[in-house]
Amino acid sequence: MHTKTPNIFPTLPEKPDADMIARYREDGYLAFLNALTPEEVKAASEGINELVRKYAFNETLTEHVFGKGQYSDKIKNGRGMLFKSRTSDFHFQVEGTYEARPDRLDELADNIRKFQSYTNELPIYDYIANQHPKLRALIGAVLGEDYRPYSSMALCKPAGGGAEKPWHQDLAYFSVNRFDGVAGVWIALDPAVVANGCMHVIPGGHIKGPRKHEWTRVDCELTTDEIDPADAVPIELPPGGLMIFDGLLPHETPANQSNLRRRALQFHYQSASTQVAPREEYQKKFAGQDGIFLGCDYSKLKS
Ligand SMILES: O=C(O)CCC(=O)C(=O)O
């Protein structure tokens, strides 16, 4: 029986105990108020400014392209602009309502919506993602010791309107050969509270398996036919707080309606027996009894 109060542990331990892992299997997530040190949070936060100063409007290192998809109706000038590395998969995207300009890069750093494939861009991100002893112990306990990174993708919410990320299961976006071997780790860099768009989850909602996602006016999402927001709990975390969650757990983050920015790191991992699968194959797997794909069909993305 789940209560509407989230279970949030005070501190990420050196090694999670069996009760914690049992709780993860049942609820589909574990949250900890205190996981990164203030120094780690500071370095990770300053890294955002460092990356934006280094790459934004630097034509040698990145190309800038105008946003697509959910921002397509808002794009004017630098709004929703995407900066793509010329040498790697690293890219970041400006919030759809903010106009990126080369003469105010620190302000721009506070108005980024998304960072993708950023783990190798700075040692602090590689450390947190791949070497942090307590995090390694936690992920190892959840996925097995030989787990591997799957992706790095962080969403941020600028103050005063950072966009929502509606209800979804991460496995609706991914392509893997099994559902039980993917976990996400989400780390707050600012206080994350309801008003600025903290994580909300449906405890135990992973157990039902894949659910039907639809492209709506906002994004690829689970509609209220599939989830009841009344079952949700908010996961409010201070800077350095962390949540680990199952790839099938329904979760969302509302829009930032406050004047407090909400930045985060996010990494996903796969177990040793989880392989990336061709998308066509996965579409048959993440399907209903009628064989129809329930995940996010990118061919339906507005361009
Ligand atoms: O950080 C957020 O606002 C949402 C992250 C998320 O749910 C995702 O990337 O799947």
Q: What is the pTM of this model?
A: 0.94
Distance from the Cα of residue 271 to its chain's centroid: 18
- Average pLDDT of the residues in 57-73: 74
Is the Cβ atom of 251 under 6 angstroms away from ligand 1?
yes
Q: How big is the CA angle at 264 (ends 260 and 270), to the nearest 5 degrees?
A: 160
3-state secondary structure of 171: helix
pLDDT at 23 over 60: yes
Q: Evaluate whether 118 touches 55 at the Cβ level (below 8 Å).
A: no
Residue nearest atom 1 in ligand 1 by C-alpha distance: 155
Strands (E) across 196-239 are located at 199-201, 213-215, 220-222, 233-235
The per-residue pLDDT for 67 is 59
3-state secondary structure of 300: helix
Is the Cβ atom of 169 under 6 angstroms away from ligand 1?
no
CA of 60 to the centre of ligand 1 (A): 30
Ligand 1 pocket test, candidate residues 93, 116, 165, 169, most atoms within 8 A of CB: 165
Task: State the sign of the Cα–Cα–Cα–Cα dihedral 115, 149, 185, 191.
Answer: negative
CATH 1.10.240.10 fits 8-300, yes or no: no
Ligand 1 pocket test, candidate residues 266, 268, 269, 296, most atoms within 8 A of CB: 266
The per-residue pLDDT for 248 is 98
CA of 261 to the centre of ligand 1 (A): 15
Report the run of H or E that residue 138 belongs to, with start and end. Answer: helix 133-143
Q: Where are the domains of the chain?
A: 8-300
Mean pLDDT of the chain: 92
